[in-house]
Amino acid sequence: MASFSALKEECFEANIQLEKLNLVFFTFGNVSAVDRDEGVFAIKPSGVSYAKLKPADIVIVDFENKVVEGRLRPSSDTKTHSFLYRSWESIGGVSHTHSTYSVAWAQALKDIPILGTTHADHLVSDVPCAPPMANELIAEDYEHMTGQQIIDCFQSRNLSYEEVEMVLIGSHGPFTWGKDASTAVYNSKVLEEVARMAYLSLQINPDVHRMKDALIAKHYERKHGSNAYYGQETDD
């Protein structure tokens, strides 16, 4: 039987970061980390406070939501995580928070407009807000359909999940993802700060315009383009 101690530790550390970054409160929110070779992912147990969480508490689940290892019930959002892992094969971590400003935009059913360079350093589009789920889907399999809701939003807007690693679920809150669990948490913090900055900007000037295309392209390309020059070279 495979040992999942390293995967559990990765997941645990990512979940603890959510609390340290003030992205969650009490028992809300969760991060998962995937092991695609084993066909499983690690996720926070449901309803366990971050103050009491231990690596041994982390639950290992397969892509069909069956518990492989763990004595506790996995997060209530497990089916959403597994749906995203099955649908998007290059992601290695998923994060879901209840952070204040991100949730406020989701509750307002509004995309977060791209107003400045902090936003453009990470993506070239507004942060999409998927519409609230239809009643029949809520009654069907809510957490599974939340994953479908995200996929449908990206397909309808012709967005790439590898370029836009974040979404708002209308009336619910944010989900982010990335190459690993720590990147998913990083994206959750970026999303929260972008949401806060956009909110404050609109309070100062309700008529503020979307950032000009040339600036969007410049800031995104200097960090992510083929001739990127942001940061340091690595020997990867």
Amino acid at 233: E
Which of 141, 152, 213, 230 is labelled catalytic?
A: 230
Alpha-carbon distance of 73 to 71, in angstroms, equals 7
8 Å CB contact between 185 and 95: yes
Whether 207 sits among the annotated catalytic residues: the reply is: no
Which of 57, 121, 161, 180 is labelled catalytic?
A: 121
Whether 77 sits among the annotated catalytic residues: the reply is: no
8 Å CB contact between 173 and 129: no
Alpha-carbon distance of 178 to 187, in angstroms, equals 8
8 Å CB contact between 87 and 177: no
Alpha-carbon distance of 79 to 95, in angstroms, equals 13
Q: What are the residue numbers of the active site?
A: 121, 230
